[in-house]
Structure 1
Amino acid sequence: MTTATAIAPRDPWSLVPSLGNLDAYIRAVQAIPMLEADEEQALARRLRDEQDVQAAGRLVLSHLRLVVSISRQYMGYGLPQGDLIQEGNVGLMKAVKRYDPDQGVRLVSYAMHWIKAEIHEYVLKNWRTVKVATTKAQRKLFFNLRSLKHQFKNEADNTHVGRAGLSEAEIQRVARELNVRPEDVIEMETRLAGGDVALEAPTDDDGDSPVAPLAYLADEGSEPTRVIESRRRDWLASQGIVNALDALDDRSRRIVEERWLKVNDDGSGGMTLHELAADYGVSAERIRQIEVAAMKKMRKALTEGEPA
């Protein structure tokens, strides 16, 4: 019996108990097996092509443990873990609905972005001192300011304390590092200083301390769609340009290479239109026309040969 068959009851949600008993819920989701890559791909295609609700349920079930793990990183705000899990599950379901199995990314990587985004929204709406933290700058400061202050304290003792408990130099430094205005730094520091909820993540009995959400911002470069875009750019700059040049005849290829790809030792480029015209015994306008036609042919080759 395969793993897929083992976790395919008539009602997949019957595997998970009510959130009323959080410990039982966590034990249950930890016991649900993860899907193999081929199983995940097959289920995702069934959901995308056939709108198969049972396939969606299987995908969600196998990633509930991921939501539990991420929710622990946000417990330093004094909010119930059950509520954090509930919001994270909403993000997981959104991820499953939008997931494209043909993008070459596992669902776990794609879902992390949506789970964190949903929990971020919940924290910002329910932590009383930052209910108005709705702009991008305020969100950056909310999740990073405390960790930056701790970093400053470790580097050196402050001798000049400016407004809101930060020196003027520190305010400017925070603004530069997070790309926000100094006024935004001062405002958010004032709000955080008036709170009565500990922002640092708690340390459990065996000394393990989860990562506090204010210690980092999600790296946009690791977001799945950006990773795919980066891979596409890398392909275009390497194999893509080789394929496009191979689609040209010898004369067109040389003209393109001389005009756009060649760099001499002294930093200068290749031949000019007039130099190429003299070399081939035609007018500069004719060389320009060949170059334009070659570029169109290369663009077509890049579009047809682009990997899925």
Structure 2
Amino acid sequence: MTNALALPMPSAVGNLDAYIQAANRFPMLSEAEETSLARRFRDEQDLDAARQLVLSHLRLVISIARGYLGYGLPHADLIQEGNIGLMKAVKRYDPDRGVRLVSFAIHWIKAEIHEYVLKNWRLVKVATTKAQRKLFFNLRSLKPGSEALTPGQTLEVAKQLGVKPEEVTEMETRLGGHDLALEANDDEDEKFAPIAWLADSNSEPTRVLEAREYDRLQSDGLQAALAGLDERSRRIVEARWLAEGEAATLHELAAEFGVSAERIRQIEAKALQKMKGLLSA
């Protein structure tokens, strides 16, 4: 059996081409070698056997990762995520099922790369459901060109992927969009940045302080204006306008002071006029 451990490990840092060359130097395993190593790992927890299984399939990860370069993500990161999927496949692989590791590992490698692409392609995740994931990874290859799909093409793509036409249209719109910075880089463009649309000007610290100061001055001014009224006028204004519960009626105050409701109305009007003059002074 060829011993993959005798070869130098590919470096995790440095030149990507050097890593790929090192990974390609690991020999492919025969079916008998692969089965023997897999059984040693499964039955004896032999980590050296698991390491040889992983190293001999690094070139598979590199090949699969290359197919996802169109999403604009670093090739090295795609390979790294694929390697995680490969290690998961080795951990779960059962050699007695009659399936080669390469066939079993493809699913796990792609699953990890898919998850990485979906999380990092945009700030906002573009695909969450199973149907959306299928569309995300297949729509580009099924589109005849860079132009938007026609209604007929949309129906054809939906039929091929087994999804609804409106789902195809929605995913095409998502793929055609792009991330937008929340804040503008140039000061002169600041008012056009999304942060300006989202911000609540009333919550801006200086506005809050100004509002608090205004309320304080209004409260102090109101108390000073009330202090300038005689006791009966102050009682009528407070009962009619400043009561926490239901305001008193003219008739209720008339009964309290033993005068007519019209007289209460006159006293109220005169008191409010006097307070207005005090507040505006």
Deviations 1:226-278 (A, max 9, x none): xxxxxxxxxxxxxxxxxxxxxxxxxxxxxxxxxxxxxxxxxxxxxxxxxxxxx
Q: How far has the Cα of 1:50 moved from its partner?
A: 0.8
Deviations 1:156-179 (A, max 9, x none): xxxxxxxxx333333222222211
Residue from 172, 188, 199 that aligns with 2:155:
172
Query: What is the distance in 1 between the residues matched to 2:78 and 2:125?
Result: 17
Aligned counterpart, 1:110: 104
**CA 1:109/1:76 → structure 2, altered by over 3 Å: closer, same or farther?**
same
Query: What is the distance in 1 between the residues matched to 2:162 and 2:117?
Result: 22
SS at structure 1 position matched to 2:163 = coil
Aligned counterpart, 1:128: 122
1:73 aligns with 2:93: no
1:148 aligns with 2:145: no
Query: What is the distance in 1 between the residues matched to 2:51 and 2:89?
Result: 12
Query: What is the distance in 1 between the residues matched to 2:88 and 2:112?
Result: 10
Query: What is the distance in 1 between the residues matched to 2:86 and 2:93?
Result: 10
1:20 aligns with 2:14: yes
Aligned counterpart, 1:295: none
Aligned counterpart, 1:54: 48
The aligned amino acid for 2:5 is A
Aligned counterpart, 2:2: 3
Query: What is the distance in 2 between the residues matched to 1:15 and 1:121?
Result: 27
Aligned counterpart, 2:57: 63
Q: How far has the Cα of 1:152 moved from its partner?
A: 11
Query: What is the distance in 1 between the residues matched to 2:60 and 2:9?
Result: 16
Contact in 2 for aligned 1:129/1:192 (Cα 8 Å) = no
Q: How far has the Cα of 1:183 moved from its partner?
A: 2.1
RMSD of the TM alignment (CA)?
Answer: 2.1
**CA 1:191/1:3 → structure 2, altered by over 3 Å: closer, same or farther?**
same
Which structure has the higher relative contact order (CA within 8 Å, separation 6+)?
1
Aligned counterpart, 1:194: 177
Query: What is the distance in 2 between the residues matched to 1:185 and 1:119?
Result: 22
Aligned counterpart, 1:276: none
Query: What is the distance in 1 between the residues matched to 2:146 and 2:64?
Result: 27
Comparing 119-128 with 80-89, which one deviates more in the overlay? 119-128
The aligned amino acid for 2:133 is R
SS at structure 2 position matched to 1:8 = helix
1:44 aligns with 2:38: yes
The aligned amino acid for 1:8 is L
SS at structure 2 position matched to 1:116 = helix
Structure 1 runs of 4+ aligned residues shifted over 4 Å read none
Query: What is the distance in 2 between the residues matched to 1:32 and 1:131?
Result: 37
- TM-score normalised to the size of structure 1? 0.54
Aligned counterpart, 2:164: 181
Structure 2 unaligned spans of 5+: 180-281
Aligned counterpart, 1:232: none
Contact in 1 for aligned 2:38/2:49 (Cα 8 Å) = yes
The aligned amino acid for 2:119 is K
Which protein shows a greater Rg?
2
Percent identical among aligned pairs is 68
1:32 aligns with 2:26: yes
Query: What is the distance in 2 between the residues matched to 1:140 and 1:57?
Result: 32
Query: What is the distance in 2 between the residues matched to 1:166 and 1:73?
Result: 23
Q: How far has the Cα of 1:127 moved from its partner?
A: 0.7
The aligned amino acid for 1:188 is M
